[in-house]
Amino acid sequence: MAEQTFKLPDIGEGIAEAELADWLVKVGDVIREDDVICEVTTDKATVEIPASVGGRVTWIAGEPGTVLAIGGDLIRIETDGEAAPAAEQEAAAPDTAPAPEPAAPAAAAPQSAPVAQAAPVAQAAPVAPAAAPKRAARTAGPVTLGPTGKPLAAPSVRGRARDLGIDLRRVRGTGPAGRILHEDLEDYATHGDASVRSTAFAPRDGTEEIRVTGIRRAIAERMALSKSRIPHFSIIEEVEVEALETLRASLNTQFGDSRGKLTLLPFLLRALSEAVRDHPAINATYDDEAGIVTRHAALHCGMATQTDSGLMVPVLRHVEAMTLWETAQEIRRLSEAARSRRAGPKDLSGSTLTVTSLGPLGAVATTPIINHPEVAIVGVNKMTVRPVWNGTEFVPRRMMNLSCSFDHRVVDGWDAAEFVAKLKRLLEVPAMLFMEWRDE
C-alpha cells in the first residue's frame, strides 16, 4: 500500500487560488479513477476536480469555504501501487474547462461496499423501462443539504430535475454524502414522494445556518464593493412596446421556424448599441483608484443570469456587429453555458454595460446595482397592458418600464436622462433600429 498526496491543479486564466465549494467524498471512502472528488470555485466559474487514481481517501484539505492555493495539497489517497511521481500527477490535472458531468450508473453499488459511482456512462432515460424490476421508493428520510443550503446534486441532475418538474428538496440522495443521483430522480418519478404528510398544515420549528461560500460569496463581495464605492442614481422610464411587439410577432411568424424565435432582449440590445454610439459616456468603465474613465467603442454586454449557483453575468461581445438572430443565438448559448456551469472565464469577463431582467417575475420598477467597474446598468421590468390616453380616449397598450442606474461620479443626471430618452425612442419606433442614418 502507498499513500499519494494530490495537489489542487492549475485551472487556467492565471488563477492563483480557488475555494472549496463541495466535497463529493469523505475520509474512508473508496473511490475510482476519474470519480469527481470535489468542486472548487473561482470568481468566474465552478470546476469539478476528478481523481487521477483509485483508492481509499485518507485525508482531505478542509471544509467547504476553505481557500486553497493552486498547487497546494488537496487530497491523500491510499493505493495498492507505489506513489506516482509529481510529473504524473500534473499530467492528470483537468483541463481549464469544467469537467463533464457524470451520468447515472447502470445500477446502484451494493450498500455494503463504500464505493463511489462508476465512471461516466451514457445518461439513462428519465423513467425506468417498464420491464425493469420494481424497486422500493428512495424518497423517505432526510435530505442532505450542501453548504449553500441546497440538496447535493450535480448540475446535470439539477437540470434534469427542472425538466421533470421535481423539487430536489423532496428527493433523498443515495450517492456519496447523500448526493442525489440520476437514479434517485428515476425512483422519485416512478414512486413519488413517500414522505408526504397526510395533512397540508403542520408546525415548523428550528433554524438553519448557511455558510456563504463559492460563487454566492463572490457575488456578495462584488455587490458590497459596488454599493460602497459607487454613488448610484436611477431613472425609471415608461416605454410603449406595442409597435415593437407587433414587429417581433411578425418576424417570428415569418422566420421563426428557420432562424429561431426572437424575444424582446435582442431588440433591446440593438437599441443599446445605437444609444451608446450617441452617448459614449454610458458604455464605459471607471478605474476609481487610478482616476481613469475608459470609454469603449465596442458594446460588450453583460447579461445577468440566474443559476443554481447564484447570479452570473455572461458577456455578449460586439453586440453592435450582430443581427437580431445572431444576438438571440448568442444569448441562448451563454445562458445555457452559465446555467450548466460550462461558461469559461472568457465568457464571464470584459463587459462594458450590463442588462438585467427578471422576465415575467419582474416588478413594476426595480433599482439595479451597477456591475463594478461599469458606470451603468439597464433593468428590464415586466411587460403589462395599461390604459394609455391618446388625446381623445384611453386605449389598451403594452407597456414596459426600464430601470436604469448610473454612477453619479462620472455620469451626470442630464446625460443619463438623454440616454434613457434615446433608448425609449428607439424601442417605441423600432423601424429606427434598422435605419442607416444617425441623429446629428
In sequence order, the β-bridge partners of residue 3 are 78
In angstroms, the CA 403 to CA 128 distance is 48
CB atoms within 10 A of CB 398: 17
In this structure, is the dihedral angle defined by the CA atoms of residues 356, 362, 327 and 440, taken in order, positive or negative?
negative
Catalytic residue among 191, 232, 296, 408: 408
Cβ neighbors of 75 (< 8 A, separation 6 or more) are: 5, 6, 25, 37, 38, 51, 57, 59, 60, 61
Known active-site residue 279: no
Please count the other Cβ atoms lying within 10 Å of the Cβ belonging to residue 206. Answer: 4
> What phi-psi label fits residue 345: left (phi over 0), alpha (psi between -120 and 50 degrees) or beta?
alpha
The counts of H helices and E strands in the chain are: 8, 18
What is the residue whose three cell numbers read 424518497?
A: 139
The letter for the amino acid at 280 is: P
What whole-number distance in Å separates Cα of residue 113 and Cα of residue 278? 67
C-alpha cell at position 230: 459607487
Q: Which amino acid is at 168?
A: L
**Strand positions, DSSP E, 156-230:** none
Rg value, the chain, Cα: 26
182 flagged as catalytic: no
Q: Which of 95, 278, 412, 439 is catalytic?
A: 412
Give the residue numbers annotated as catalytic, written as ranges.
Answer: 408, 412
